[in-house]
Amino acid sequence: MRVVLAEDGDLLRAGVLALLEGHDDIEVVAAATSLPELLAAVDEHRPDVVLTDIRMPPDLTDEGIRAAGELRRTHPGVGVVALTQYSDVEYALDLVREGSDGRGYLLKERVADVDELVTALRTVAAGGSVIDQLVVDSLVAGGARRADSVLDRLTPRELEVLGMVARGMTNAAIADQLAVTDRAVEKHVGSILTKLDLPADAPVHRRVAATLVFLSEAGVGGIALG
């Protein structure tokens, strides 16, 4: 797996390089410190996946998200995993707005768990998607949502099921948690997707889309995690 790393912090960049180079099947083909360098490195090396900080030069705002959008158009086969120190749902939504395939959103603390980081890179490189579980859990636990929320269309049980979907639980795991049949969970999930107006041909996988709706309605803005 060929990786381009984009991180302007010298210590973190060196640390991630050392961790990834410990895996024989991973090759870091370039390291960038800014958005222009990142895009140029992808043009030159054609990696399988990009691991990028969200905030880096030139503006230190949302360069990683902008890079993901640009690469969706210029190099659609390249996966992007965005790293951030904040569980900011708006960034997560922007990252997958044009599709969740080949996109991941992780907190920087995940770098300490190299196996989890590598698993995310492999998942995204293969066209899958990853949303950091702490991002989901922090918002699910908050319990608040916007006035006139689309989630008001759901029954209390459907909202409970959606929260479990947002945590990444399978139908079987949800059924076990609620002590109901798999068929009952399937019916709840089908009803949720219909009520949230998520068509079968949506560009984002319907369960991922339902999760993103839940996150966007459950809370907005960055939650500093230290």
Q: What tens digit of pLDDT does each residue of 3-33 get?
A: 999 999 999 999 999 999 889 899 999 999 9
- Are 27 and 126 part of one and the same domain? yes
Residue 184 and residue 121 share a domain: no
Average pLDDT (142-169) is 74
**Are 188 and 108 found together in one domain?**
no
Q: For the residues 26-54, what does the mean pLDDT come to?
A: 97
**pTM for the model:** 0.71
Region 162-175 average pLDDT? 82
Contact 200, 206 (CB under 8 A): yes
Q: Are residues 51 and 153 in the same domain?
A: no
- Is the residue at 137 inside a domain? no
pLDDT value of position 5: 97
Look up the CATH number of the domain holding residue 82.
3.40.50.2300
Same domain, 72 and 98: yes
Write out pLDDT tens, residues 102-147: 988 888 888 888 888 999 999 999 988 887 877 666 555 555 455 5
Domain that includes residue 43, residue range: 2-131
164: left (phi over 0), alpha (psi -120 to 50) or beta: alpha
For the chain, the domain total comes to: 2
Vertex 210: Cα angle to 68 and 101 (nearest 5): 30
| Final residue belonging to a domain, choices 97, 131, 165 | 131
Nearest to 135 by CA among 95, 172, 99, 98: 95
Question: What are residue 17's phi and psi, to 5 degrees?
Answer: -60, -45
CATH of the domain at 192: 1.10.10.10
Would you say residue 190 lies in a domain? yes
CB burial of residue 133 (10 Å; 0-12, 13-18, 19+): middle
Written as six digits, the tokens of 159 are 């909202």
Which of 91, 108, 131 terminates a domain? The answer is 131
Confirm if 38 and 53 have CB atoms less than 8 A apart. no
